[in-house]
Structure 1
Amino acid sequence: MKREMQALMGMLLMAGVSGGGLAATLDQELAAIAADPAMPLASLSVLAVRGGKVQYQYQTGRRRIGVHAAPATADTLYRIASISKMMTTFGLMKLVEQHRLALDTDVGEYLGYPLRNPHFPEQAITLRMLLTHTSSLRDEAGYFWGAEVAIRDKLTGGEAGVWASNAGPGAYFTYTNLNWGVIGTIMEKVSGERFDRLMKRLLLEPMGLRGGYNPAEFSTAEIDDVATLYRKRTIDTERWNPDGPWIAQVDDYSARPPAAPANIGNYVIGSNGTLFSPTGGLRISASDMGKIMLMLIHHGQHQGRQILQAESVALMFSQQWKYDGGNGDTYRGLYQSWGLGSQRFGDGSLVEGGGFSAAGHLGEAYGLISTFVVDLERGNGMVSLIGGTGADPERNPGRYSAMTRSEERILTALYRRAILGQ
């Protein structure tokens, strides 16, 4: 009864949020966080879902800075970094539903060659292991290569830094981007489609979402909406200067449109799934991420269409790995529980004072800091996209989590105002 009364009070407090006092207060709080001189943000786009409906959206700052300056809007497309892994997993789960892939099959059957950790050659590697970062692959030798490179050579060539020697497949969690390069390669192999176009067919087009994994194929309007990612840090010397200018890091299309990857005309589909970065290369808006969040909350349905089976959604966000004190690298306590391509966050790890348990994914690259977290049971969730950081995030640590203090403040404000209605 207490929970139902709290929910009712929250609904009453948030009624008329689009023009009400709580929304205005939240606007001011988020604007102040973005303008904080200790950690200024180039842009910020957020969205909150309450009870299965979008409750609040807000943008501040600029998607482009300089001669061609333009503000961040609800349509601004951000390169969302590692949240792309979760989005890629949605596409993979569609292939599982179509019985073209199975989670516990030796992935060598899909690749066309054995995939083995040379230190543990008798142990098969499965999609479930790749999706839970327990495959024993590692990133030390890299996780992105051009169209002229065959990923097979990297995986089987004996190069140092590709495989763990201390733990075999399935035994130990280490967050590894290369897992998703292999996943993207497998998706291309079984579909016969290039990864960027496959994801448009499986996820983006059925939901009417803009953007994608390949800006070279964006429309003119989409290119104009892409946010350049910034830091107040030089690219060559990597020195931070919070009082200096914003420096473009990636996706700067103000002077020229995006180019296709080099040698793409000679690319052999299924030879190198890293090419369009299934690990971090999706450009999408907070608004469209909100549509995906609602699809998940509504058991895989979007506007009456079944995008993912309800069973796939439940499986993706169910616990597949949990830290037991010695079975993984938690990265300063950040990783405690994992689903299939999704992280599980316990109470107290996302908002100050606790009260919000969720699943989803985080991302950080080129100045961007991104968050997608959803409580599927209660139908509540938050999206936060920071388009650039003006100070070293390592000098702006969180007070109660492994996130930055800016992230903590943004998520806590969204949760208290837009979800709890306080």
Structure 2
Amino acid sequence: MERFLPIFLIGFAVLVFLQCSSPFEPEVKEFADTENEILREVNANQIPSLAAWVVKDDSLVWQKYYGYAEVASRRAADRNTIYGLASISKLVIVTATMQLREQGLLNLDADINAYLPFAVRNPNYPEQKITPYHLLTHTSGLAWPENEFEVPEYYTHYPLDSAPPLREWLPEFILPEGAHYVSTVWKNSRPGEREGYSNIGTALLAYLVEVVSKTDYNEYCKQHIFAPLEMFNASYVYADLDRSNLATLYDYPNHPIGFYRYRDYPAGDLKSTIANFSHLVMAYMHGGQYKNARILQESTVQDILKMRNPASGICLLWDYTVGDWYGHAGGKPGVAAYVEFQRDSKVALMIASNYRHGSVYPGNKIHALVRRIAKRYE
């Protein structure tokens, strides 16, 4: 739960980096007015720092950084600041999964037990197989879990990179004989029958990537996604990153919390500069290619972005929203982030903060203001 205290941050610094490409030159005053509105929202909600960008085609045409990456030292947020992205991390999971499918190593309709070293079934429907497709569409029957009451001890905060490996904790939580198993880890629905957002399910999918590729998940992503896309300031692992550039996490204004990792780290613990993450978004906008690097075939990207449930807008881990936008939200203590793009206009936007505040998400003020800037490039 978010907490808001009447703490006024004095002397809020703003560091601005603005980039515009010549074919798209909107009115400077309109941008300045919108940027000032964003600043007022940041100050009014006591958000320690906020970073945002807009992409057109293959260029960052606008980016701006507000406030402090670390309040106590007055370290300003800038283009080198590394933010937690929470559930936006899942967009990397689907990318890795579909790379393996392209190589013929993973069948989306196969029983996951054909790949795993332990057998997984929903105990309520033991005769029904669970497939990678079910995990990609949040229809496996595995719980979110939404809180510690649903699955106790699931959301333990592990300092830095000390969380247990996927292969160790997953069977302990999802198999009936596991030490941390509770029946609420499974919903009473057949695989494929009902959509239910699941961090456990996407962590299991990342473990499939590990098993099939015979490579640690983070290492796989570094080799096959981050390196080709020149995402040199992106990783699931703190040890890979420059600690001096990490945005300090705040669970409420001016109250820092330590850097931590959840056990389901592939589902929600990617860290990156927002500029680096734009490379992945550009690749999706351009049919799987960024500059000269192709990470997915165009047909695969089309398959990923095919809407699977019109009621929810779910694609393969991406979400479809009104106006032909594809995106994903991320949020946890010390992190709020949102990213989205339009396929036809090839316009995208991203917002990230080191404080979990709802204003960055669709339907709220800061998102609406950044969308206003993005619309000038449609």
**TM-score bracket for the superposition, by shorter chain length:** 0.7 to 0.9
User: Conserved in 1, the CA contact under 8 Å of 2:109 and 2:132?
Assistant: yes
For residues 147-296 of structure 1, the aligned pairs below 5 Å read 147=165, 149-157=168-176, 159=181, 160-165=183-188, 167-209=189-231, 210-218=233-241, 222-232=242-252, 246-251=254-259, 275=263, 277-296=265-284
Shift of 1:178: 0.3
Secondary structure of 1:364's counterpart equals: strand
Name structure 2 gaps, 5 residues minimum: 1-20, 157-162
User: Conserved in 2, the CA contact under 8 Å of 1:213 and 1:276?
Assistant: no
**Structure-2 separation of matches of 1:56 and 1:312:** 29
**Structure-1 separation of matches of 2:92 and 2:295:** 13
Alignment match of 2:76 (pick from 55, 71, 74): 71
**Structure-2 separation of matches of 1:339 and 1:216:** 33
Alignment match of 1:375 (pick from 330, 339, 342): 342
Counterpart residue identity of residue 123, structure 1: Q
Secondary structure of 1:111's counterpart equals: coil
Secondary structure of 1:208's counterpart equals: coil
Shift of 1:345: 1.0
Counterpart residue identity of residue 285, structure 2: I
Secondary structure of 2:62's counterpart equals: strand
Question: Counterpart of 2:13?
Answer: none
Name structure 1 gaps, 5 residues minimum: 1-10, 233-244, 253-260, 262-273, 324-335, 347-355
Secondary structure of 1:278's counterpart equals: helix
Q: How many residues align?
A: 339
User: Conserved in 1, the CA contact under 8 Å of 2:330 and 2:336?
Assistant: yes
**Structure-2 separation of matches of 1:179 and 1:109:** 17
In the superposition, the TM-score normalised over structure 2's length comes to 0.83
For residues 239-388 of structure 1, the aligned pairs below 5 Å read 246-251=254-259, 275=263, 277-323=265-311, 336-346=312-322, 356-388=323-355
**Structure-2 separation of matches of 1:132 and 1:276:** 17
**Structure-2 separation of matches of 1:106 and 1:224:** 44
- Return 410-419 or 294-303, whichever deviates more: 410-419
**Structure-1 separation of matches of 2:105 and 2:97:** 10
Question: Counterpart of 1:50?
Answer: 56
Instruction: Determine if the alignment matches structure 1 residue 15 to structure 2 residue 25.
Output: yes
Instruction: Determine if the alignment matches structure 1 residue 117 to structure 2 residue 122.
Output: yes
Structure 1 residues 114 and 49, CA gap change in structure 2 (3 angstroms)? same
Counterpart residue identity of residue 412, structure 1: A
User: Conserved in 1, the CA contact under 8 Å of 2:79 and 2:273?
Assistant: yes
Instruction: Determine if the alignment matches structure 1 residue 146 to structure 2 residue 164.
Output: yes
**Structure-1 separation of matches of 2:334 and 2:320:** 24
User: Conserved in 1, the CA contact under 8 Å of 2:331 and 2:337?
Assistant: yes
**Structure-2 separation of matches of 1:22 and 1:421:** 13
Deviations 1:95-136 (Å, cap 9, x if unpaired)?
111111111111011103321111111111011101111000
**Structure-2 separation of matches of 1:53 and 1:387:** 25
Percent of residue pairs identical: 23
Secondary structure of 2:370's counterpart equals: helix
Question: Counterpart of 1:331?
Answer: none
Point out 4+ residue stretches in structure 1 off by more than 4 angstroms.
11-14
**Structure-1 separation of matches of 2:22 and 2:228:** 35
Shift of 1:12: 9.4
User: Conserved in 1, the CA contact under 8 Å of 2:349 and 2:374?
Assistant: no
User: Conserved in 2, the CA contact under 8 Å of 1:372 and 1:383?
Assistant: yes
Counterpart residue identity of residue 234, structure 2: G
